[in-house]
Amino acid sequence: MRPKIYIDGKEGTTGLQIYERLGARDDLELLLIDEDKRKDTEERRKFLNAADIVFLCLPDAAAREAVSLIENDHTRVIDASTAHRTADGWAYGFPELSGDHRAAIQTSTRVANPGCHATGFIASVYPLVAHGVLSATDALTCFSLTGYSGGGKKMIASYEAEDKTDGLYAPRVYGLNLQHKHLPEMQKVCGLATPPVFCPVVDDYYKGMATTVMLPDHNVHIVWQALSSHYAGQKMVKVAPLGEGAPMISANTFAGRDSLTLYVHGHRSQTIVTALFDNLGKGASGAAVQNMNLMLGLDETTGLTL
116 is catalytic: yes
Query: H-helix or E-strand containing 200?
Result: strand 197-203
- Does residue 114 have a cis peptide bond before it, meaning omega lies within 30 degrees of 0? no
Q: Rounded CA gap, 215 and 222, in Å?
A: 12
Q: Rounded CA gap, 71 and 304, in Å?
A: 31
Planar angle of CA 32, 300, 64, nearest 5 degrees: 50
Strand order, beta sheet including 29-31: 29-31, 4-8, 53-56, 76-79, 110-112, 91-92
Q: Rounded CA gap, 11 and 35, in Å?
A: 10
Buried b (16+ CB within 10 A) or exposed e, 185-221: bbbebbebeebbebbbebbebbbbbbbbbebeebebe
Amino acid letter at 128?
L
Active-site residue (options: 116, 142, 190, 199): 116
Q: Are 66 and 6 in contact (CB under 8 A)?
A: no
Could you list the active site residues?
A: 116
